[in-house]
Chain A
Amino acid sequence: MSELPASPLVSLRDIVKTYHRGQQTVPVLGGITFDIDAGEFLALMGPSGSGKSTLLNLIAGIDRPDSGQLVIGGVDIGVLDEAELADWRAQNVGFIFQFYNLMPVLSALENVELPLLLKDMTRRERRERALLALEMVGLADRAEHAPSELSGGQQQRVAIARALITDPTLIVADEPTGDLDRESANDILHLMQRLNDEIGKTIVMVTHDSRAAGHAHAIMHLEKGELSGREEVRV
């Protein structure tokens, strides 16, 4: 796995973001400043519309702030053009979505293998690595199954394997247990905790669920686009 850069891994300075709905301007984030250390597992919590998903999107490099500076792993991602940003995401970010976002026409193995198409690897190398990732999430025996043949929890495990496959610096998870039953949710959260504890992955997770947030090191609370506090949960 890659060597982690010096702390802090993520540095946000005075991040402002507004949305435009027709003539109306809706402020979403109003000057957010905080850091995330390498190896940290941070949960973002807040009521609907508080801006937590927007903040996660900015950290993941799939949206851009109106102003402010966002430095991740020493790279100011605000100055990257679209192609550079896509390349940066491919190298540095692993995504876990609420609804898994797997390609329904690909098998579990092919879904995990997908991000490796952007790497200079042979098909065999890709396959081997994808199988290894599936083994890590306990789904090697379901490699050839289509997503529709897997349960919600299993699909999310495949998504986690896909997020891990490129050995990213940062894993972002948007409500990763939001579509799962309690038991599957616990499995996923334990798996994420293991990734953080055992291989030192930095994870930023958005959640509504305080029990899910309890698996993180710290919880960052947002309210109306402002940080309302940081709560240390797990050392």
Chain B
Amino acid sequence: MLFTLIFRNAFRHRLRTLLTITGLTVAILAFGLLSTVISAWYAGAEGASGARLITRNAISLIFPLPLNYREKIRQIDGVRSVSLANWFGGVYKEPKNFFPQFAVEPESYLGIYTEYRLTDEERREFLHDRKGCIVGAKLARTYGFKVGDTITLQGRIFPGNWDFVIRGIYTGRDAKTDVSQMLFHWDYLNETLKQRSPGRANAVGVYIAEIAEQGRAAEISRAIDAQFRNSNAETLTETDRAFQLGFVSRTESIVVAIRIVSYLVIFIILAVMANTMAMTVRERSAEYATLKALGFGPAFLVLLIYGESLAIAAIGGGIGIAATFPAAAAFAKTLGKFFPVFEVSNTTVALQVLWALAVGLVSAFFPARRAARVKIVDGLRSIG
């Protein structure tokens, strides 16, 4: 009977309830999408390992480091292996077809970035072909790349046309792994540069050091930087995660704005829902007074009002959460190349549940308090 009363009351003013549910659905959906955008922003950093150190030129990332640093870094205590990478920055066919490309030392790089998964055959083929490259599964899907395809990139940082043969399509160890990149042989870049512009050869963008103990990351970083202090190319070493966060921090204000908007949306629906519940309770003063006269205590009325508010919040929130997944998939399809990882996380869903619940609870607070406190004779007087 209690649930009957709650649900029938909830849908007594169908239009009002449906509009409130629609508002709540949109708010929870918007919150979920915006939270997913924020998560996507940090995805690179979240997927980064604390056991990897990135060493770059202390002045700026755009200045290279000498090739001979590799051996010196390898000899530092605590460093297990060292690889290197250069940002390539080419475009595929048209400028709009941009995706991340890195020239890497394949064997050591794949040894450190174990989250990139290739079959043994693909790995072998890639390692043996200097013009070979591997692409992430998402990138392959986006451009229809297949193993064996030859693709040509127009270099923007390293001018000219660059041909590559796709030797493998890597997948990620988990959802946080970036599978929208292209990796190719640093030797191919370097040997070509020796011919085209010798002055730019033997230059490295970043060194990646794998360390044995994550707890020593700060100490080893300091040791690497100390090694090159007062040299022509001083270094700045930080963990992979800090390095990735450094990129995110440049756009921090956008992230903050998105976060504020996502909470504003919740606040607005909270106000709408609170108004709906307040109107509802005001209209039903005589009914609540009647229930009290019949012997029902304030707790029963509080239960009715909270039940109704939570039922509306649960329906709106539930539809909003369910709609987040297809909406996120459509969003990723349209804007996927800006966000290598665009997945609705469990944390986002948990927050959506929490906010829907909070909207239901907070909206009912004042109306329930009013109904619980109203004098029976005053409530009955509001009729007729």
Contacts and interface: CB of A to CB of B under 8 A. Distances in A.
A86 B5 contact: no
Interface in B289-303: 290-297
Contacts of A60: 293
A40 interface: no
A62 interface: yes
A60 B296 CA distance: 14
Interface residues of A, number: 29
Interface residues of B, number: 23
Interface in A154-204: 162, 179
Contacts of B2: 117
Contact of B376 (A63, A103, A115): A63
A106 B5 contact: yes
A228 B1 CA distance: 46
B286 interface: yes
Given A62-B377, A115-B295, A101 B290 contact: yes
B376 A62 contact: yes
Interface stretch (A2-10, A67-75, A91-99): A91-99
Most chain-A Cβ atoms within 10 A of its Cβ — which of B4, B294, B376?
B294
A105 interface: yes
Given A86-B297, A95-B294, A115-B294, A101 B287 contact: yes
B297 A83 contact: yes
B287 A110 contact: no
B297 A63 contact: no
B288 to A, nearest CB: 10
Nearest to A57: B377
Interface string B133-172: 0000000000000000000000000000000000000000
Contacts of B297: 82-83, 86
Contact of A87 (B293, B295, B383): B295
A118 B297 CA distance: 10
Given A103-B5, A115-B295, A63 B377 contact: yes
B14 interface: no
A235 B275 CA distance: 56
Contacts of A106: 4-5, 8
Contacts of A82: 297
Contacts of A89: 293-295
Interface of A: 57, 60, 62-63, 82-83, 86-87, 89-91, 95, 97-99, 101, 103-106, 110, 113-115, 117-118, 123, 162, 179
19 contacts: A57-B376, A62-B293, A62-B377, A62-B380, A86-B292, A89-B295, A90-B296, A98-B384, A99-B286, A99-B384, A101-B383, A105-B5, A105-B12, A106-B4, A114-B1, A115-B294, A117-B2, A118-B294, A179-B384
Lowest 10 CB-CB distances: which A-B pairs, in order? A90-B295, A105-B8, A62-B376, A101-B290, A89-B295, A99-B384, A63-B377, A115-B294, A86-B295, A62-B293
Interface of B: 1-2, 4-5, 8-9, 12, 286-287, 290-297, 375-377, 380, 383-384
